[in-house]
Structure 1
Amino acid sequence: MIFKRSIARLRAQNWAAITIELLIVVVGVFIGTMVANWNQDRLERRDAAKMLRELRPALTDFVDFFETAKIYYATTRDYSEAAFGGWQGDPAVSDEQFVIGAYQASQIYSLGLNAVNWTQIFGGNQLQHVDEPELKKSLANLMTLNFELIDTPAVDTDYRRNVRQVIPEDIQDAIRAECGDRVIPGKPLTQALPRRCDLDFPDARWSTAAARLRSRPQLTEQLRWHRAAVAAFLSNMELFEQQTHTVIDQLDDDPR
């Protein structure tokens, strides 16, 4: 309707009316765009606030993982001491303890979450709508950490693969079934490894398996490297733990 009137007045050379109607159209488009942008920004900020509310329990799961990883790898280190004792012929280490220790020393526990997954799960696109500058900065720092440092490849060493080629499969199956990883109830990212493992195999079976391990002394060097990789994993994990606690503290201080 406005367009038709404008054409008619253009023919009549009514420039004042044409100008006014064009201004009405331009202002209407401008206001409509402003309202749409305001509404979109409001929705995005609402989603960002929702993300922050949901972030606290997820970060608590992270903290649970950090705490249990320390205990887990302290347990595997104890098993590795028994394995070293078996390779060194320590009479205090039985063949059963030697074989079980060699296997359990190769057990690994990682977060299994890379930076891309973290960003998708916890709203990387919504980060720009977080109003608190320090919280935004801390959350961005956590998102951009190199998650590969605490992922499975960091501790999946040659020792883990090679020692499992030597230990008989039935013994490995029994260790996994009776003394393998256990998920801690109510904590989805956590696992525990039993500190002791006793299995019902004949002594001769343990002796044969122990002899196979002793015939491959190079595994001791690989085990030392494996322990070094685990130590690096735990050291890198401290950075993630510190940054996670920083975000949690700032979330707790946030009034929303």
Structure 2
Amino acid sequence: MILSRIIHHLKTQNWTAVGLEFVIVIAGVVIGFQVTAWNQAREGEARGQAYLERIQSDLAVDIASYDDRIAFWSAVSDHGVQALEASNDPDRISGTQADWALIVAFFQASQVSEFNAVQTTYTEITSAGELGLIANLNVRERLSVYYTLTENFTMTERPAYRVTVRGIIPVRLQLYIWENCWDSDFYGRQFLIACDPPADSGEIMRTANVLAGNTELHNQLRYWISTLQVLQTMGRDRRGEAGDIREAIAADRGAEL
């Protein structure tokens, strides 16, 4: 339609009309580009907001996991301290209950609970090259640092103590502890449970004496207790940062947590 009009105006040498037709065409193209760019910007902003909402959920899972791990690492450390104190007590009283408590303390002190951040959404954003959709530069940089620092060997360490002590305690007693003194749930949370000793008091006494007298085992346990303290400190720091980032995202989105 427009093309036919331009041809007609050219034939009649109506240059003013030709110029107006060209202006109309160019204006239409420019407006079309602007509308397309505006729609793309709106779609990008919507995707960015959806990413942030999902990251908020991921961070909430991380916070709950940190709370669980910090409490668990503290409980494991307490068992380690209890085992060392009982072993180094010159007046330690040997008996089925006391010896069993010593064995359980040494065993539970070998427990580990690794932490791995939920990175599904952040990995998806970076893999798609869409990190720029998170417009808030402060939030974007803090997320980058947060997810970089979560990859730390200490958070997944399995100490030499774990191997040593489980190589000393008889298998039958270990299986009894797993069955009666420990539990876990679908979410990977672990629970250390007080339990009565099995029937064989002779095996309990022999094992307790070996554990109480093993200096190298005690040295490895001291190292592990120290590491557990570092884990708790790191966990609290990172849990705090995850909470702060969630609040920053909520403020940026104008949404409540």
- TM-score bracket, normalised by the shorter chain, equals 0.7 to 0.9
Letter in 2 for 1:212: V
Letter in 2 for 1:166: I
RMSD: 3.8
What are the ranges of 5 or more consecutive residues in structure 1 without an aligned counterpart? 1-15
Q: 1:196 to 1:58 in 2, by over 3 A?
A: same
| Greater CA drift, 24-33 or 144-153 | 24-33
Say which structure, 1 or 2, has more relative contact order (CA 8 Å, 6+ apart): 2
- Tell me, in whole angstroms, the C-alpha distance in 1 between the residues paired with 2:25 and 2:93: 92
State the TM-score, normalizing by the size of structure 1.
Answer: 0.73
C-alpha displacement of 1:31: 6.6
Identity percentage over the alignment? 18
Q: Which residue of 2 aligns with 1:173?
A: 175
Q: Any idea what the Cα deviations from partners look like across 1:178-237, whole Å, max 9, x if unmatched?
A: 222423x8xx4x624235233424111212322332453201011110011111111122
Q: Which residue of 2 aligns with 1:44?
A: 44
1:147 aligns with 2:145: no
Q: Which residue of 1 aligns with 2:247?
A: 249
Indicate if the aligned counterparts of 2:183 and 2:193 stay in contact, CA closer than 8 A: no
Q: 1:36 to 1:205 in 2, by over 3 A?
A: farther
| Greater CA drift, 52-61 or 226-235 | 52-61
State the TM-score, normalizing by the size of structure 2.
Answer: 0.73
Residue in structure 1 matching 2:237, options 225, 229, 239: 239
Q: Which residue of 2 aligns with 1:206?
A: 204
Q: 1:149 to 1:231 in 2, by over 3 A?
A: farther
Q: 1:167 to 1:35 in 2, by over 3 A?
A: farther
Indicate if the aligned counterparts of 2:72 and 2:190 stay in contact, CA closer than 8 A: yes
What are the ranges of 5 or more consecutive residues in structure 2 without an aligned counterpart? 1-14
| Greater CA drift, 232-241 or 94-103 | 232-241
Matched residues, number: 241
Residue in structure 1 matching 2:103, options 99, 102, 117: 99
Q: Which residue of 1 aligns with 2:4?
A: none
